Structure 1
Amino acid sequence: MREVEVLGVRVELPARQPILLLRSLYEPKYLPIWIGVQEANAIALALQGVEPPRPLTHQLLLNVVHHFGGGLERVEVTGLDGHTFLGELVFDDGRRLSCRPSDGAALALLAQVPVFVADELIDTAGVEMEVDDETEVEQFREFLDHVSAEDFESGGPDGPAESGGPDGPSEPGGPEAR
């Protein structure tokens, strides 16, 4: 597993499909994951530090976990099932719960815990870019403005194909992540 940073969310045009951007902390590789609109909004709010007056779904889930004496230790993006990214919440007692990587990312941001991605995913589905820190975000946004889901379907040098819908790049309306 390699630790990643939740860099942000962008909208892929013309399909207007949100993309979660994860950046490896150890190499110039990024993992784009197509996600749902609600999860993109939750991630964006968490990144901006916005605290709504009442808890939204992800904060409510963390409140429930804390209420019953638990804590979230980390989030892992563990693999692919066909064309769907898989994730797990790892709790402080060692228990694991399957989740969509986008929900995991939102929870990780709110709980301020790390996110990890399986080595194989970084190696096969990661997009390599070498840029300096000052221009990194702007160049990545430029990259996303010109990338489409079809660029990831071939299984070519940029990684394996992904299916559509939340947590899987490809055409909108495809199967959802588990």
Structure 2
Amino acid sequence: MGKVKLNILGLSYSQTQTGAYALVLAEENGDRRIPIIIGGVEAQAIAIQLEELEPPRPLTHDLFKSFAVAFSINIVEVNIYRLHEGIFYSELICVSGNNRVRIDSRTSDAVAIALRFKCPIYTSEEIIEKAGITLSIEGESDDSKIAPVKDVKPPHEYRKSNPFEGYSKAQLEEMLEDAVRNEDYEKASQLRDELNRR
């Protein structure tokens, strides 16, 4: 049973569960995608890392990384090893000196930690056969329906009138600092996108 490397393709609001997100992982050398339903907090932890936002205080996954680094523990890979009744089971492969340890983890946490350690994410061919979907219609890629990870915001906010239109760049930068200080990362993400657009 070969290992299949996965990359993070995006996050979108779940159509089936209120307040949840679908984390979409893409097969590195193929067209199959694995959608995994995760909570809003976990989606935010993943989006913050990809956006390279600096929270004023460490979030749980940042604390985990600091703790691991302080004790010379490195996470070398994440493995999504089981799919049972629609639930994905994952493990962190940890190395400290000559010791190699597997630690059970929720998949959303494992992905958030993988981003912080910059380690690869793998699954098995069997799991991607069961859960993988190919997003294409009449030969065209349908990835455009998946929001980029940094756009974790309600679909009605896309292409809507810009709420930050009337603000200067300096005002937006000040608002961004306030949003990060108040741990309002969704607003911070929107402000950062607006600054990048300008």
Q: TM-score if structure 1 supplies the norm length?
A: 0.72
The CA deviation string for residues 49-84 of structure 1, in whole angstroms up to 9 with x for no partner, is: 112122100010011111111111011111123331
CA deviations on 1:84-112 (whole Å, 9 max, x unpaired) are 11000001242000001110000011111
Q: How does 1:1-178 map to 2 (within 5 A)?
A: 1-13=3-15, 15-92=18-95, 93-130=99-136, 137-141=143-147
Structure 2 match to 1:172:
none
Q: What SS does structure 1 have at the residue aligned with 2:69?
A: helix
Name whichever structure is richer in helix by fraction.
2
Deviation of the 1:136 alpha carbon: 6.0
Structure 1 runs (4+) greater than 4 angstroms displaced: none
Q: What's the offset of the Cα at 1:129?
A: 2.8
Indicate the percent of aligned positions where both proteins have the same amino acid.
29
Give, in whole Å, the separation in 2 of the partners of 1:67 and 1:6.
27
In structure 2, the gaps of 5 or more residues are 148-154, 156-198
Q: Greater CA radius of gyration, 1 or 2?
A: 2
Letter in 2 for 1:43: I
Is residue 105–residue 115 contact of structure 1 (8 Å, CA) maintained in 2? Answer: yes
- Whole-Å separation in 1 of the counterparts to 2:42 and 2:145: 24
In structure 2, how many angstroms separate the alpha carbons of the residues matched to 1:129 and 1:33?
15
How far apart in 2 are the matches of 1:137 and 1:44? Answer: 18
Is contact 1:8–1:47 with CA below 8 Å preserved after alignment?
no
- 2:150 is aligned to none
TM value normalised by structure 2: 0.65
1:140, distance to aligned residue in structure 2 (A): 3.5
Which residue does 1:176 correspond to in 2?
Answer: none
3-state DSSP class of the match of 1:113? Answer: coil
- Note if contact 2:19-2:39 (Cα within 8 Å) is conserved in structure 1: no
Letter in 1 for 2:20: Q
Q: Give the Cα–Cα distance (whole angstroms) in 1 for the partners of residues 100 and 84 of structure 2.
A: 23
SS at match of 1:43: helix
Choose between structure 1 and 2: higher strand proportion. 2
